[in-house]
Every structure is written in C-alpha cells, then in structure tokens.
C-alpha cells in the first residue's frame, strides 16, 4: 500500500524492481519486508526531486493538457506486509 507520493513517481517496473530484489518466493522475514519498503520510499523520493524525470504524474498531467515536468514532490508513505 502506498500514498500518492509513491504512485505519482514510480512506474510498475520500479515497484517490481524493489519487490523482486528483496522479497523471495521461499518466504519473507521482517528484514526483507523492511528493505522492500525502504527501497520503494527511497526510489520515489529520489525521483520526486528530479526535474528531468518523466514521472507518471507528469505523463498524466500532459494527457490532460497541463504543463508539468519532472518528479512530483509529495508525501511518501509505503506499507509492505
């Protein structure tokens, strides 16, 4: 589960990268869940500050005739369970 700060800045492959990197098919432990949450929140934060990043928010804004470029600085909350 994530706030708009996650999904305004990350595409599905970004989320999958963090999930695949830290969660295993053989099971999860508290450490791997925490690492996954850290990966998602850190990646979203980094991309939110990038003025040249073609974020999901920027793409959607352009589709609605708005001028927006870069990541979207916003609250970033993620829960991995």
| Amino acid 9: pLDDT | 97
| Amino acid 81: pLDDT | 84
Per-residue pLDDT of the chain (81 residues; tens, 9 = 90+): 999 999 999 999 999 999 999 887 666 778 899 999 999 999 999 999 999 999 999 999 999 999 999 999 999 999 998
Domain that holds residue 28: 4-63
Taking a C-beta distance cutoff of 8 angstroms, is the pair 78, 3 a contact?
Answer: yes
Task: In whole angstroms, give the CA distance from residue 33 to residue 41.
Answer: 12
In degrees and rounded to multiples of 5, residue 77 shows phi and psi of -130, 135
**Does residue 20 lie within any of the structural domains?**
yes
**Does residue 80 lie within any of the structural domains?**
no
**Does residue 77 lie within any of the structural domains?**
no
**Does residue 75 lie within any of the structural domains?**
no
pTM for the full predicted model: 0.89
Task: In whole angstroms, give the CA distance from residue 81 to residue 24.
Answer: 13
| Amino acid 24: pLDDT | 74
């Amino acid at each position: 589960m994530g706030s708009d700060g996650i999904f305004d800045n990350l595409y599905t492959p970004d989320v999958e990268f963090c999930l695949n990197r830290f969660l295993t098919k053989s099971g999860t432990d508290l450490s791997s869940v925490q690492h996954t949450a850290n990966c998602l929140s850190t990646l979203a934060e980094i991309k939110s500050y990038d003025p040249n990043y073609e974020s999901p928010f920027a793409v959607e804004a352009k589709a609605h005739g708005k001028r927006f470029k870069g990541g979207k600085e916003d609250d970033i909350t993620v829960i991995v369970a």
